[in-house]
Amino acid sequence: MEFYLYLDEWLAYHRHRISVGWYQNLNQLAKIYVLPILGKMKISDIKPPHVGKVISEMKKRELSAQYILHVFNLLNRAFKDAVEYFGYLGKSPEIWFRSGATLEDVRRLLNHKSAETTQRYVHKTDDRLIALAKSISMPA
């Protein structure tokens, strides 16, 4: 299945679970930043460097850390649901540890002094991110 088809299905599934405004924001973020890079790819072919390219392109545009975080969370949740709810992937593609969007990256982008602060901004349902957040120490 091509990623744009999956993302349409994923957004439709969440449409009535979130506010209209947030749904529109997610849809806009996907159309502008995610789909031009990942849209035509098969969901099973998306690897960490592909997701890293989405984040890198956003950084090149000098977008706010909050925008980048929203896309980070959108992709994180979409891939998690592809595994756990929709069953399109047998396992998560481990995108957040090998791409340009690690929790440490997000912590630095947001200028947080601690991983605990960053933890509140990412999906707390992802145990791997929580474990990573706990392992990050403040820079000297």
Mean pLDDT of 13-34: 92
Query: What Rg do the C-alpha atoms of the chain give, in angstroms?
Result: 15
Domains of the chain: 3-135 (1.10.150.130)
Distance of alpha carbon 51 from the chain centroid: 8
Rounded to whole angstroms, the Cα distance separating 90 from 83 reads: 6
Distance between terminal CA atoms of the chain? 46
Q: Does 110 or 26 have the greater pLDDT score? A: 26
Strand, helix or coil for residue 91:
coil
Mean pLDDT of 23-46: 93
Q: Is the per-residue pLDDT at 36 higher than 90? A: yes
| Beta-ladder partners of 2 | 42
Rounded to whole angstroms, the Cα distance separating 37 from 130 reads: 28
> So what's the pLDDT on residue 30?
95
> So what's the pLDDT on residue 62?
87
Q: Which residue has the tokens 């994923």?
A: 10
- Sequence-ordered list of residues with C-beta below 8 angstroms from that of 50, at least 6 positions apart, any chain: 37, 38, 41
44-95 tens-digit pLDDT: 888 777 888 888 888 889 888 888 888 888 888 898 888 878 888 765 544 4
Confidence at 107, pLDDT banded by 50, 70, 90:
low
Structure tokens at 112: 């947080």
Phi-psi region of 34 (alpha: psi -120 to 50; beta: other; left: phi over 0): alpha
Mean pLDDT of 2-26: 92
Confidence (pTM): 0.65
